[in-house]
Structures are given as C-alpha cells and as structure tokens.
C-alpha cells in the first residue's frame, strides 16, 4: 500500500501471486519439492513448526477471532478450536482451501474476501495474522498495529506468526529479498514480486508498544519463526490521521 492507503503495484501483485499459488502453497509448510532443503534443515523446520503450533494453541483466544490474510488456513483449525473464527483474505483461491481444511476438521467459520487494510466493521475479541506482518512496508507497520487495535475490544488478544530470515526457509530457487522486495516463483516458472520484510523482534515489540498494546511478548523459534502476542490497552485507539486525531493535533497546536 502507498502512504495514501491505496494499493501499490507490489500489493496488487502479491494478491495475484497468492491466488496463483493456492494449490502449491502448503508445499512450503510440508517441505515438498522446491521447499525441501535436505534432511537436517527439513527436520529443523518441522520442529520449529511444531513449536509455533504449540505456542498458538497455548494463546488464550476466545469469543470472535478475526484471521487477517488467512490464506489456505494452515493455522485456522487451531484458532477455530479457541473461538468463533472469521477468515479474511484478498484472494478467494486460498480461502477456498481454508474452507475445505476447516470443514474437514469439523469447524464452521465465516469467510470474507477482503483487504487486510479495511477498517473493522465491529470490534472482536481476538485477531491473528500468519505471515502477513512481513508483507507490510516498514513505513506502515505502526499504522497496521493501530488498525489491529481498532479491531479489538479492550484487552482483546492479538497474535502473529511470521518469518525469520533463514536460507532453509523458502524455495530453493528463491533468492533473499533486496530492499524488502523478493522475486517469488511458482512451479510453472512464472515469477512475481512480493514485499518481504524480516522484522527484528525488538522492532515489532516497540511498534506494538507505541500502538498502545500491553502484555507484549515477541519470541522466536530456533531458526525460522517469530511469534508475537499482545493485548489491546483500554483507552480507545484513535485512527491515524482520522478527523479525531487531526482535531486533537489542531487543538494542541
Ligand atoms: C504468506 S500468505 C499467509 C497465509 C496464511 N496466513 C498463513 O499463515 O499460511 C499471505 C496471504 O495474504 C493474502 N493477501 C495479500 N494481500 C492482501 C491484502 N491486501 N489483504 C488481505 N489479504 C492479502 C494473500 O492472498 C495470502 O493468502
């Protein structure tokens, strides 16, 4: 997204990429094909993935939970077990995979094709985002956490799982991002540009603090993942650049 909040070329390309990748997306989790890096790295990946899954299951979500950029719903059953889940993704193709995954696990949920940057329609008890924060422009991280705060009731829970930079994480034919932009390939050889930002845990924690969150925890697994959770503080979060915020700035000179 640009400063003005309109999707830029990379934002639009990311949606096209994940729509086209829906059938092969889980190969990344399962270390299949181009995503296999040999026995040792794959075992380390599986161990980290298990640690992330246990961490997520130990969060104390309840009530209504929004999952932003839910994709194929890898984490959705773990969330649906804890509350009433609403999945949002800008692409319908991965969401259809999530729908099938949840149905197979015996869960019902609400599915919305929507932009993760949309304003909330109502406050909910919890919000989760898997591998979405690393697709956010550094200049907009605080704005996103402000949006998350507006999604949540006071004391509502926010949790995310995301990537740490590791050569054994992505596909073997992917190179590391340059200036936070990475070329991604599909099995058919087609290529797309995505934004990929490997945020340091301390940067994430400070941005959450600035957005008014409390009980902030940002930890990492051995190699591959960063895991974060925080609770919305009590005062009602003002929208960045909203009329209310502008009025308050004007009052204070
Ligand atoms: C890396 S995948 C993560 C999928 C899933 N959360 C997971 O943890 O496996 C990123 C997802 O973001 C979605 N996406 C991209 N741009 C989006 C936007 N502006 N709003 C909502 N979803 C978006 C893509 O369609 C894709 O499913």
Is residue 144 domain-resident?
yes
pLDDT in tens, 210-230: 999 999 999 999 999 999 999
CB neighbour burial string for 121-134, b if at least 16 within 10 angstroms, e if fewer: eebbbbbbbbbbbb
pLDDT of residue 84: 98
* Over residues 85-101, mean pLDDT: 98
Q: Which residues constitute the domain of residue 236?
A: 9-251
8 A C-beta contact, residue 231 and residue 155: yes
Q: 187: Cβ–Cβ under 8 A, 6 or more apart, which residues?
A: 24, 33, 34
Ligand 1 geometric centre to CA of 245 (Å): 29
Is residue 4 domain-resident?
no
* Over residues 107-122, mean pLDDT: 97
Ligand 1 geometric centre to CA of 28 (Å): 14
pLDDT in tens, 139-169: 999 999 999 999 999 999 999 999 999 999 9
**Counting every residue, how long is the chain?**
253
Residue 238 has pLDDT above 80, yes or no: no
Which two structure tokens, joined as six digits, stand for 89?
Answer: 């993704």
Which two structure tokens, joined as six digits, stand for 49?
Answer: 């993935």
Is residue 156 domain-resident?
yes
235: pLDDT confidence band, cut at 50, 70 and 90?
Answer: low
Q: 198: Cβ–Cβ under 8 A, 6 or more apart, which residues?
A: 134, 163, 164, 165, 177
Is residue 195 domain-resident?
yes
Is residue 216 domain-resident?
yes
Distance CA 237, CA 195 (A): 27
- Provide the domain count of the chain: 1
Straight-line distance from the first to the last Cα atom of the chain, in angstroms, rounded to the nearest whole number: 30
What is the model's pTM? 0.92
Is residue 98 domain-resident?
yes
Residue 182 has pLDDT above 60, yes or no: yes
Nearest atom, ligand 1, residue 94 CA: 27
CATH number, domain of 215, equals 3.40.50.150
Is residue 247 domain-resident?
yes
Check if 48 has its Cβ closer than 6 Å to any atom of ligand 1. no
* Over residues 12-19, mean pLDDT: 98
Residue 243 has pLDDT above 80, yes or no: no
Is residue 1 domain-resident?
no
- Residue 50: burial class (beta carbons within 10 Å; 0-12, 13-18, 19+): exposed
Please, what is the average pLDDT of the chain? 92
Residue 83 has pLDDT above 70, yes or no: yes
Pocket-testing residue among 18, 80, 94, ligand 1, by greatest number of atoms within 8 A of Cβ: 18
pLDDT of residue 234: 78
pLDDT in tens, 24-64: 999 999 999 999 999 999 999 999 999 999 999 999 999 99
8 A C-beta contact, residue 126 and residue 64: yes
* Over residues 188-198, mean pLDDT: 98
């Amino acid at each position: 997204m640009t400063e003005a909040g309109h999707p830029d070329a990379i934002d639009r390309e990311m949606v096209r990429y994940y729509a086209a990748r829906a059938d092969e997306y889980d190969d990344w989790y399962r270390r299949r094909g181009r995503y296999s890096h040999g026995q040792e790295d794959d075992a380390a990946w599986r161990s980290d993935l298990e640690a992330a899954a246990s961490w997520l299951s130990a969060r104390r979500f309840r009530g209504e939970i929004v999952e932003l950029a839910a994709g194929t719903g890898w984490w959705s059953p773990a969330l649906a077990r804890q509350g009433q889940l609403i999945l949002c993704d800008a692409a319908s193709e991965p969401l259809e995979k999530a729908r099938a995954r949840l149905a197979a696990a015996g869960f019902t949920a609400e599915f919305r094709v929507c932009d993760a940057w949309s304003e909330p329609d109502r406050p909910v008890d919890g919000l989760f985002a898997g591998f979405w924060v690393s697709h956010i422009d550094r200049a907009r991280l605080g704005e996103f956490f402000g949006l998350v705060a507006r999604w949540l009731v006071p004391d509502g829970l926010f949790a995310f799982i995301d990537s740490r930079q590791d050569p054994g994480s992505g596909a073997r034919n992917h190179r590391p991002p340059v200036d936070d932009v990475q070329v991604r390939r599909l099995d058919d050889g087609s290529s797309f540009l995505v934004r990929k930002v490997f945020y340091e845990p301390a940067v994430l924690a400070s941005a959450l603090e600035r957005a008014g969150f409390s009980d902030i925890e940002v930890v990492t697994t051995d190699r591959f993942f960063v895991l974060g959770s925080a609770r919305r503080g009590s005062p009602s979060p003002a929208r960045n650049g909203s009329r209310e915020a502008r009025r308050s700035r004007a009052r204070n000179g």
